[in-house]
Amino acid sequence: MMPATGRSIVVVYTLWERTVRVRFPAPRFMDQEQEIALKQLEELRKRTGKPMRLAAEGWGSEWQTLIAIIMSARTRDETTIEVCKKLFAKYKTVGALAGAKENEVAEIIRPVNFYRNKTKNIISACRKLVEQFGDTVPHTLDELVTIPGVGRKTANVFRAEYGASAIGVDTHVSFISQKLGWTAHKDPSKIEKDLEKLFPQSHWRVVNQICVRFGKTHTSRREKDGLLEEIKDIL
């Protein structure tokens, strides 16, 4: 149980090579459902095993982060990171990648799934950043989703990486949310709304990161289901 105090509680999450400080609302301001969900989220975090780098993390510029997230769809983070290192070593600026030849980019990113479509998307995305956003990446959801290859999930993962209150609903978040009863929906946009209602806004940015790390740590479906059943019983 959380301490019976009227004050909020600051918790520091260690995520890969950085820490994220989030503030729990004072228990007297939380209903039972919200308090249980926060305990479950913390238990997921505890069971994520060794620190791991996700595709969105650790890049030197925002355009690289966005391209890495686009590339990570349906692809292991480990693969995405290594491919992006090679890609960004050849194309050191957003302008350089915007002007790249498709066949040369495709050859570099061949290890990622759907590399042909992603080749077109990342070059077009960089062109959009150069031509419409002055070589920078916008941070609003409405602007981000106008960029080729960027849907709501990708936009929210990017925004959360840079401190915004946003929940990127991917397959890990969707699966865990349904298993733990955080949502009854399967549509990502509806799941996102349910999670925004359930969790304090201070926690939105870590929901995806924690769920993804849990999912990547426990790859056996049977093991994962068993652990989630235990976590679901937390009161």
Say how far apart CA 192 and CA 166 lie, in whole Å. 9
Q: Evaluate whether 37 touches 75 at the Cβ level (below 8 Å).
A: no
Catalytic residue selected from 46, 86, 118, 153: 153
Closest CA to 71 of 117, 140, 126: 117
Structure tokens at 109: 């990113």
At what angle are helices 152-161 and 188-198 packed, to 10 degrees? 40
Per DSSP, 110 falls in state T
Structure tokens at 169: 């609903």
Specify whether 190 is catalytic.
no
Name the 3-class secondary structure at 12. Answer: strand
Closest CA to 54 of 133, 149, 168: 168
Cα 68 from chain centre: 11
- The catalytic site residues sit at 153
